Amino acid sequence: MSILDRLRGRGISRPHLIPEIGSDSEPALRFAEADRHAPEPPAHAPSARPAARSRGGLVEIRGVHKSFGDLEVLRGIDLQIAPGSVTAVLGPSGSGKSTLLRTINHLETLDQGLISVDGEVIGYRREGDLLHELPEREVLHQRTAIGMVFQSFNLFAHMTALQNVTEAPRRALGVPARQAEARARELLALVGLSDKADVYPRQLSGGQQQRVAIARALALEPKVLLFDEPTSALDPELVEEVLAVIRSLARAGTTLVIVTHEISFARDVADTVVFMDQGLVVEQGPPSRVIDHPAHERTRSFLQRVRTGTEDPDPRPAPAPASPVRQPVSGAAPERTAPPGDLAGVGSSHPPVIGADQATSRTPLPRHHSEDHS
Ligand SMILES: Nc1ncnc2c1ncn2[C@@H]1O[C@H](COP(=O)(O)OP(=O)(O)OP(=O)(O)O)[C@@H](O)[C@H]1O
Ligand SMILES: [Mg+2]
């Protein structure tokens, strides 16, 4: 067992089956080529296009499997998400939506398969027919291009709204303070919070905190922005202000992937709706088909349950308040917080960084491999 595996408490790594990059094999399910040429952002959201770097990224998910112990949570996910498109992921609780999102920026490792953004494999380095897990610092660097907004905001409690937004560009990208601050003010204006730059998260409503979290994610000019139920921790009257901000980002360049139970929002904003159940993509397509004319009974009954309020969008206990612990400099803030002093492990459920030795976490490519990772 590798040190990494021991720290993660995962036991021996499973063999890792990954489709050849650039092979002829197409993903079993494929997105329409949505909106490769993103139109200009609306006039009322001039800063919605974060910056030159953040043209949307092409996200390719191939044959992804993920288990926690004996529970196989992702059972072979294939998706291709077009640059600049908006994808809404729907599905019952426990179907693997969050896990899928977390694999996209390597907050979770993969047991099989491969995820790439603009052709760059996320979380792994390819060497011959093996994939080696990247050292944490390289993963953190990759995450600067893949932002994430969580249900529970995860703002740095000891920093003002402005500091929350400037932190990652300053520390992860080395942006000079003045420049980072100027951009942060623009982003706070974009999310409607110009007047809240100098207040602390505890002085903000949930909707305002989530808008700061969105500004923070945008500050790294991500190619891809992942939202995991961004409104489900909010009081109903605060939901719309956050959805409005997300709407303003749609087709402004960045590729958006949004896990949500807001069906009408998904219908309005998404190019593609993906319905997941039991670790599989049951169907995907434009909202007019998947939401209005679903092909599968499972989709129909899920939508019916959501509409009648009998699908509980979040049966788990309410998330704990944001930790005051100093936290990460990645595009993503942690859903589960890290111990004090741990900067490298933040942004993930992973334990603290263990250094370059991580690269020895190897996964075979492209076939099953019997190597023991001990
Ligand atoms: N770190 C983990 N360790 C063990 N099991 C986990 C872990 N993370 C998720 N799971 C399990 O994996 C399954 C899928 O979880 P996931 O959070 O991806 O579901 P979801 O579709 O996002 O559900 P929800 O709508 O409730 O957020 C669940 O059974 C969950 O308990
Ligand atoms: Mg979830």
- pLDDT on residue 54: 55
Neighbour count for residue 204 (Cβ, 10 Å): 18
Q: What residue spans of 219-337 are helical by DSSP H?
A: 236-249, 263-269, 287-290, 297-307
Cα 14 off chain centre by: 24
Burial class (CB in 10 A: 0-12, 13-18, 19+), 26: exposed
DSSP-derived letter for residue 280 is E
Ligand in nearest proximity to the CA of 306: 1
Compute the C-alpha angle 159/186/212, nearest 5°.
40
**255-259 and 224-228 beta bridge pairing:** parallel
Is residue 91 within 6 Å of ligand 1 at its C-beta?
Answer: yes
The residue whose CA has the least distance to atom 30 of ligand 1 is 94
Tell whether omega for the bond before 366 is within 30 degrees of 0, i.e. cis: yes
Shortest-distance atom of ligand 1 to CA 276: 21
Domain ranges, residue 180? 3-348+358-364
Would 373 be classed as within a structural domain?
A: no
For the question of whether the overall pTM of this predicted structure is more than 0.95, the answer is no
Neighbour count for residue 199 (Cβ, 10 Å): 15
- Residue entry with tokens 């600049």: 84
- pLDDT on residue 16: 53
Query: Phi and psi for 208 in degrees, rounded to 5?
Result: -70, -40
Would 11 be classed as within a structural domain?
A: yes
The residue whose CA has the least distance to atom 12 of ligand 1 is 73
pLDDT band, residue 30 (cuts 50/70/90): very low
Region of 48 on the Ramachandran plot (φ > 0 left; ψ -120 to 50 alpha; else beta): alpha
Is residue 97 within 6 Å of ligand 1 at its C-beta?
Answer: yes
Model pLDDT for residues 258-289, shown as the tens digit of each residue:
999 999 999 999 999 999 999 999 999 999 99
Shortest-distance atom of ligand 1 to CA 229: 27
Cβ contact 282:92 at 8 Å: no
Is residue 264 within 6 Å of ligand 1 at its C-beta?
Answer: no
CA dist 302 and 99 (Å) reads 19
Would 371 be classed as within a structural domain?
A: no
Share of the chain above pLDDT 70, in %: 69
- pLDDT on residue 314: 52
Shortest-distance atom of ligand 1 to CA 259: 22
Taking the centre of ligand 2 as the mean of its atom positions, its distance from the CA of residue 21, in whole angstroms, is 29
Cβ contact 234:262 at 8 Å: no
CA dist 301 and 311 (Å) reads 10
Is residue 77 within 6 Å of ligand 1 at its C-beta?
Answer: no
* Beta strand spans in the chain (E): 59-68, 71-81, 86-90, 112-117, 120-121, 124-127, 130-133, 146-149, 224-228, 255-259, 272-277, 280-285, 362-364
Model pLDDT for residues 311-329, shown as the tens digit of each residue:
765 554 444 443 333 333 3
Taking the centre of ligand 2 as the mean of its atom positions, its distance from the CA of residue 96, in whole angstroms, is 7
Residues belonging to the chain: 374
Taking the centre of ligand 2 as the mean of its atom positions, its distance from the CA of residue 258, in whole angstroms, is 11
The residue whose CA has the least distance to atom 5 of ligand 1 is 68
With CA atoms as reference, report the closest residue to 8 among 98, 107, 152. 107
| Domains in the chain, number | 1
Shortest-distance atom of ligand 1 to CA 108: 1
Neighbour count for residue 123 (Cβ, 10 Å): 24
CA dist 12 and 128 (Å) reads 22
Is residue 94 within 6 Å of ligand 1 at its C-beta?
Answer: yes
- pLDDT on residue 138: 95
The pick from 68, 102, 231, 348 for probing ligand 1's pocket by mutation, whose C-beta has the most ligand atoms within 8 angstroms, reads: 68
Cα 79 off chain centre by: 14
Taking the centre of ligand 2 as the mean of its atom positions, its distance from the CA of residue 101, in whole angstroms, is 9
Would 372 be classed as within a structural domain?
A: no
Model pLDDT for residues 66-124, shown as the tens digit of each residue:
999 999 999 999 999 999 999 999 999 999 999 999 999 999 999 999 999 999 999 99
Is residue 2 within 6 Å of ligand 1 at its C-beta?
Answer: no
Neighbour count for residue 310 (Cβ, 10 Å): 8
* CATH value at residue 134: 3.40.50.300
Cα 212 off chain centre by: 17
CA dist 303 and 209 (Å) reads 29
pLDDT band, residue 21 (cuts 50/70/90): very low
Is residue 166 within 6 Å of ligand 1 at its C-beta?
Answer: no
Would 370 be classed as within a structural domain?
A: no
